[in-house]
Amino acid sequence: MSDITTILNACELVWRQQSVGSVAISDMRSELESHLVDAASAGKSPESVIGTNLDAFARSWISGQPARVIPLSFSAVQTEREAQADATRARLSISIAAIIGVTLLGVLLGPKSTYSGLESWQWVFVLSTFSLLIGEMFTGGFFVLPFGIGAASASALSFAEVEPPALIGVFTVVSALALWGLREFASKDDDVVFAVGGDRYVDQTGILTAPIQGVGTIGRVRIETESWMAITDGNQMIPEGAVVRVSEVRGTRMVVSAT
């Protein structure tokens, strides 16, 4: 219970800082406590209700404007993230192994050059390597880094006196492999926000445990092991025991409609 009290006090502090009225704070605190107790009774952690960012969770209850979400249960979110992490590690490992293999093959089997201007190519790729790596430090996003890796591989081949056309080919292949291996790190801005708290129940169904008598009245809906206050946007009477679908979350209330 001490963890629940700590969470409630932290949320209340955020609500008071945002000038939420005392009556609304009392309602939200009671509602949140019931969800935390339900979760604990079902053997779930508090994070299954509030997510990993308590401040963002508390603010979402004030505004009633949740972030773009994917309606997954908490366990499904964890499974999805673990699968994505495994795929990223596998792709990165394959990319590194392929880059090393291409570079070694180029050094050992690449056609040797008798071109007198090979030193110029060495300088080109060495300077490109440092310029691109420094550029990555200032820009971030892992977009410039793959080309720096490609230039580094071509530099190694240039000092092994490999023909310039082969240098260009290795630079292109290694850069492409590095870009493929690092693509997950280069696409962070496209990540979606997974649903936490009440938002994870959007588009899911539940059972009405207290009837809704039309617009402006409040019922209750049970979804899995949790009970939430429920309202409807439509001027419809939804009886107790009806199956309803959650369309959105507004603060501490689920907006539902009959299925």
CATH number for the domain spanning 46: value is 2.40.50.140
Residue 197: predicted pLDDT: 56
For residues 241 and 212, is the Cβ–Cβ distance under 8 A?
no
- Per-residue pLDDT tens over the stretch 72-122: 454 555 677 778 788 888 888 999 999 999 999 998 888 888 777 788 888
How big is the chain by its Cα radius of gyration, in Å? Answer: 28
One domain for residues 95 and 172: yes
- Of 45-54, 60-69, 89-98, least confident by mean pLDDT is 60-69
Which residues does residue 253 pair with via DSSP β-bridges, in sequence order? 229, 250
One domain for residues 147 and 215: no
For residues 178 and 146, is the Cβ–Cβ distance under 8 A?
yes
For 257, phi then psi, to 5°, come to -145, 150
Task: Kindly report the average pLDDT of the chain as a whole number.
Answer: 81
One domain for residues 83 and 159: yes
Which of 150-154, 223-227, 245-249 has the largest mean confidence? 150-154
For residues 217 and 198, is the Cβ–Cβ distance under 8 A?
no
Residue finishing a domain among 190, 209, 227: 190
Residue finishing a domain among 157, 173, 190: 190
Strand (E) or helix (H) holding 254 = strand 253-258
**199 pLDDT more than 70:** no
The Cα–Cα gap between 182 and 157 comes to 23
Domain with 19, as residue range(s), is 2-72+195-258
One domain for residues 102 and 185: yes
One domain for residues 62 and 146: no
Query: Which residue in 229, 194, 188 sits closest to 211, CA to CA?
Result: 229
For residues 231 and 218, is the Cβ–Cβ distance under 8 A?
yes
Residue 193: predicted pLDDT: 45
Give the number of domains in the chain.
Answer: 2
Residue 49: predicted pLDDT: 82
Residue finishing a domain among 159, 190, 221: 190
- Of 52-56, 70-74, 158-162, least confident by mean pLDDT is 70-74
One domain for residues 84 and 179: yes
One domain for residues 87 and 129: yes
**181 pLDDT more than 50:** yes
One domain for residues 115 and 142: yes
Position 232, amino acid: T
